[in-house]
Chains A and B, each alone.
Chain A
Amino acid sequence: MPAEGLLAWSWLLIALPLAGAAILLLGGRRTDRWGHLLGTGTVVAAFVIGLLGTIQLAGLDKKSVGVDLFTFINVGSLDVRAGLLFDPLSAAFVLLITGVGALIHIYSIGYMAHDPGRRRFFAYLNLFVAAMLLLVLGNSFVALYVGWEGVGLASYLLIAFWYTRPAAATAAKKAFIMNRVGDVGLALAIFLMFSQLGTTSYAGVFGSIGTLAGGTITAIGLLLLLGACGKSGQFPLQAWLPDAMEGPTPVSALIHAATMVTAGVYLIARCAPIYDHTPTARTVVMLIGAITLLIGAIAGCAYDDIKKVLAYSTVSQIGYMFLAVGLGPAGYVAGLAHLYAHGFFKAGLFLGAGSVMHAMNDSVDMRRFGGLWKKLPITFVTFSLGYLALIGFPFLSGYWTKDAIIEAAFDRGDTLGYVLGGVAVFAAGLTAFYMTRLMLMTFFGPPRWEEGVHPHEAPPVMTAPMIVLAVGSVGAGFALVRAFPLGTWLAPVFGEPKETTHVLAPLTLTLVLVAVMLLGVGLAWLFVGRREVPVIAPARVSPVVRAARNALYADTVNESLFMRPGQWLTRALVFFDNRGVDGAVNGMAATLGGSSARLGRAQTGFVRTYALGMLGGAVLVAGALLAVTAG
């Protein structure tokens, strides 16, 4: 139904941050003094609009509101009308993006206070928020694609924010290129939809997807999944996400933990009507999720860089979400609830890590931390709450949302269900292990600080958002699963939640999970907490640890499978281009130039030559005409 009231103004959600980005980028130095306030203001305003819009949406009978904007492309049979779709799913994302986004903008005021590029930073952040909102609000795959590329660009710009550091520049390039692989998948999926269905709008595609052959739907599903894997750092495209931590920490919190990397989950949830027709693609989604959550958890155990541990944790947790949305109707709500809860506690954890780095002169090496709980009490408390939420400590956020996913996996009831559930339980234990290790190395034990480091608590402008997020970490899970069930809110999108018969009694599963979690915590205490942490990472380690330290050789695999052949191909193409194409082009140019010079000699300047030429031409004309007439 067409939008009325405030919802008709929902384009402002995108326009405000976009205007902020434009003003900050075009305004130049003039906006240096107040640019960060403007940038924060636009996002806070967007949050307020989003909140009021959601409240209005809640009161409507038909919970799907379209906002027509303008005709974007109209060529031949391709008619792309730019428009927005405000429904419970996009509303949920709008609130997450603008809410967490606003908090992180506020935090950044403190975090980037002394950075000379602060204005540029807020401009990029605004650009990101605008693109991300377009991604979730667009009413067609083309709008989604524009937003998709927009967040990719913002992510690239922000990872390389400190572009003078080679590591940051490389990481940004890596992120961009690996994302491109996924983007090609998404683009091909859209092309396929258009060629087969003649439309790219959600309504058109979902309405007629059932008319296609099964193989085509599976192809679309798998191509969409490739896109989702690129953006969300899922196997086999996961390697860029940990490297993306070269960007400023608020960026890691907002883009590479809470929002952008969950775009893949959004895409698959949004395309539920497509996956309903293709069990094959849905199973692949599930498997990808399971593989990734395990890889992320294993790699998280071995790193000493606090942000990289959190990054692998993100990879792993998004794996849980993919597993959930791959489970089909049983898992959508669980996956999205986890996405929401994760948005809170992972953003909080990253902000906490940022606060620690702020205190430790931007060091990220956990081997040089230790004993910080006394020096950074607020950070310690908020971080601990995020930690407990993440490992699934009873009655905190992760407990409600992650357990629901594992439960849904077991509820498949078949062998695959048991295998996936088992993997998820095992990874939950690993999660408890690596996060406890991180806590112990950072906040407990004797200080192993480098000289000249004087830890201090961050200013209130930074701690306040951390506190808000910590509250979310504690309460979001209960709120979304029990108090205001997300399933009811999303029912217009995914259908009413069904009563399912559980394979394992819920209490049994809960007890198992708590036991596994405690086991993980205990092992971490045995290996890390009890002993002294060496300042230099030990070199002689078992093959398992070595493999984990190399993130299960993901980079090596990428290099040998894609980079080297790619380089060979490039070299071959360059050779072909130089010799073949350029040769042909240059040869042709030389031929033309030569014939030009030769023909030019006929232009002698003598009238007699010209007249002779004309006579010859006239004879030819007459001859040709006679030949035509005679023939």
Chain B
Amino acid sequence: MIAAPHLSLADLAPLLFVFGAACVGVLVEAFAPRESRHPVQVAVALVGTVGALVSTLFLAGAHEVTAGGALAVDGAGLFLQATIAGLGALAILLFAERSLDPARSAFVAAAAVPVGSPRDRELATSERVQTEVYPLATFAIGGMLLFVAANDLLIMFVALEVLSLPLYLISGLARRRRLLSQEAALKYFLLGAFASGFFLYGLALVYGATGSVQLRDIRAAATAGGTDVLLVLGLGLLVVGLLFKASVAPFHTWTPDVYQGAATPVTAFMAACTKVAAFGAILRLLYVGFGTSEWTWRPLIYGVAIVSMVVGAVLGLTQTDLKRMLAYSSIAHAGFLLTGVIGLGPGGTGSGLSATIFYLLAYGLSTIGIFAVLTLVRDGDGEASHLSQWAGLASRSPVTAALMSLFLLSMAGIPLTAGFTAKFAVFRAAIQAGAWPLVVVALLASAVAAFYYLRVIVLMYFSPPSVEGPTVGVPGLPTTLVLAITATATLALGIFPGAVLDIAQRAAIFVG
């Protein structure tokens, strides 16, 4: 007879909110009349995400392992869950925007209809919209919340799949340029399955070496006999699977294609939330599972951080599509984040954890903001994401250009923006952990990457506008709200970062 594990429902509140909302969303999809489906779905998804956000606030200070050791409820986990839930709510708002696209949604009316068929052409102009995207996204958010709380490799794998499968699907739901979108979804799926394979194989090896899938048992085994080949190989493959999700080079190749192909609100969602979730899992795996044998993974993370920063910075230089450029930017940022991971410091004394979770928050907010600006600038075929179309935009739409500049400056890490505070925090953590060569590379990469951010600003302000330039749409309430929140937060975290840094500092603790 197997005793039921102890389960603290209160500790699971964030997860229950989101998964509950996702299940309700499926029911709504099945039973609600078509015309009322969209507002109801949006409301359900928002209730779920905002509820999760609020419940993490109530849980602040919790520090325990529950569900038979499978789930950890601790400061860092809750901070990341709050970040994911908040960013997820913002992304849902972007999904819900109905005034920008002439067909009133960024999502396709019926995803199963073949591209170019008469039915497809007919639906392209109709105002019908696929509302499955809301429960799918909510499931993905639930998976992410579980991912950063998983204290057990099996649960981590399940969470990985729960967050990934809906993402593959919603990548293919763009209303415009449908073939590109579907191609992106397929590529993402194939490579994601490949990466999951690595993760699963790593899991099996680790189990073989330690006889357990729980992080605390792995930690004990790693402390006892850290040189076990099986264990080390298992660690490597697990990390590969996670680095793929975090789009760290050399496991980044899917990123530009998927960012470009997916509908822009989906890209915003993926770029912000997936990054947070993946780094949350990396941090927990390395700090909790392998925290005592950091000398094993340190050189590895060191190396991939450098590769990722260099690849992201250098390849971004020649991009002509804004969404692809931002994809390389996210690869470079993944490298900067790994710089923070290095800042664990001997015996876990470093400020790496607090710096990294602050960076994730700052980066997520700026990312959602910048993709929200991208949805505003449009031509006849959807978003005008080619660089040349942004020339002289400032004279036509000064507010849009100013917002774009703010987010770009934050991405580049210019002082008085969130990006600067975040970079400063992770670099400081890395230097305190003695990794100054890594910081030198990071600074050089930042300088190179600054070129392509600033180029957009120069283009917007100092180039003559093109004759057949794009139109700048007037956003509805949801996008306006997102822009206001992200812009304010980006500035606030740059000018008065003290309070949030303090929260990150106090939250930066993993239950062992």
Contact = CB atoms under 8 A, between A and B. Distances in A.
A513 B226 CA distance: 100
Nearest to B227: A629
Contacts of B198: 618
Interface string A606-623: 010111011011101110
A605 B186 CA distance: 12
B76 interface: no
Contact of B297 (A593, A603, A618, A625): A625
Interface string B248-292: 001101101100000000000000000000000000000000000
A611 B448 contact: no
Size range of the interface on B?
35 or more
Contact of B232 (A603, A607, A626): A626
A617 B250 contact: yes
Interface string B195-238: 10010000000000000000000000000001101001101110
A616 B314 contact: no
Given A607-B191, A614-B194, A626-B232, A621 B300 contact: yes
Interface string A83-109: 000000000000000000000000000
B236 A614 contact: no
B194 A611 contact: yes
A600 interface: yes
B315 A603 contact: yes
A595 B190 contact: no
A453 interface: no
B299 interface: yes
A55 interface: no
A622 B251 CA distance: 14
B191 A624 contact: no
B239 interface: yes
A541 interface: no
Interface residues of A, number: 27
A507 interface: no
B250 A613 contact: yes
A628 B299 contact: yes
Contacts of B296: 625, 628-629
Contact of B190 (A596, A602, A611, A620): A611
A617 B317 CA distance: 23
Nearest to B231: A629
Given A596-B317, A599-B314, A611 B257 contact: no
B229 A599 contact: no
Interface in A183-210: none
B315 A625 contact: no
A618 B194 CA distance: 11
A592 interface: yes
Interface in A558-583: none
A603 B299 contact: no
Nearest to B186: A607
A483 interface: no
B240 interface: yes
A596 B191 contact: no
A245 to B, nearest CB: 42
A83 B83 CA distance: 47
B190 A625 contact: no
Interface in B40-95: none
Nearest to A615: B194
A511 interface: no
B256 A603 contact: yes
Nearest to B295: A628
B253 A603 contact: yes
Chain A at the B interface: SS class = helix
A606 to B, nearest CB: 9
Nearest to B311: A599
B343 to A, nearest CB: 19
Interface string B165-197: 000000000000000000000110011001100
A626 B239 CA distance: 14
Contact of B251 (A592, A597, A617, A626): A617
B318 interface: yes
Nearest to B241: A618
B231 to A, nearest CB: 9
Given A596-B317, A614-B194, A624 B300 contact: yes
A618 B229 contact: no
Nearest to A618: B240
Contacts of A620: 250
B461 interface: no
A629 B232 contact: yes
B300 A607 contact: no
Contact of A617 (B186, B240, B448): B240
Contacts of B237: 618, 621-622
A18 to B, nearest CB: 28
A624 to B, nearest CB: 6
B191 A593 contact: no
Interface in A508-540: none
**Max chain B C-beta neighbours (<10 A), residue from A603, A613, A614:** A614
B314 A625 contact: no
Given A624-B299, A628-B299, A629-B229, A595 B314 contact: yes
Nearest to A595: B314
B244 interface: yes
B98 to A, nearest CB: 33
B116 interface: no
B240 A625 contact: no
Contact of A621 (B239, B253, B256, B317): B239
B321 to A, nearest CB: 12
A592 B190 contact: no
A596 B325 CA distance: 12
A610 B239 contact: no
B346 interface: no
**Max chain B C-beta neighbours (<10 A), residue from A599, A605, A617:** A617
A609 B190 CA distance: 12
B303 interface: yes
A617 B318 CA distance: 24
Contacts of B233: 622, 625-626
A609 B257 CA distance: 13
Given A611-B194, A625-B236, A616 B250 contact: yes
B194 to A, nearest CB: 6
Contacts of B254: 610
B234 to A, nearest CB: 10
Nearest to A625: B236
Nearest to B299: A628
Contact of B318 (A593, A605, A626): A593
B195 A614 contact: yes
Contacts of A603: 253, 256-257, 315
Given A603-B256, A614-B253, A626-B229, A621 B195 contact: no
A607 B318 CA distance: 22
Contacts of B240: 614, 617-618, 621
Contacts of A625: 232-233, 235-236, 296-297, 300
A227 B317 CA distance: 48
Interface in B313-341: 314-318
A600 B318 contact: yes
A566 to B, nearest CB: 32
Given A616-B250, A621-B236, A625-B232, A597 B318 contact: yes
Nearest to B253: A610
Given A621-B239, A625-B233, A599 B315 contact: yes
Given A593-B318, A621-B240, 11 more contacts: A592-B314, A593-B317, A596-B318, A602-B253, A607-B187, A610-B187, A611-B191, A614-B240, A618-B236, A621-B304, A625-B297
For the complex of A and B, 6 pairs with smallest distance between CB atoms: A617-B250, A610-B253, A596-B318, A596-B317, A625-B236, A622-B236
16 contacts: A595-B314, A602-B253, A607-B186, A609-B253, A610-B191, A611-B190, A611-B194, A614-B244, A621-B300, A622-B233, A624-B300, A625-B232, A626-B233, A628-B296, A629-B227, A629-B229
Interface of A: 592-593, 595-597, 599-600, 602-603, 605, 607, 609-611, 613-614, 616-618, 620-622, 624-626, 628-629
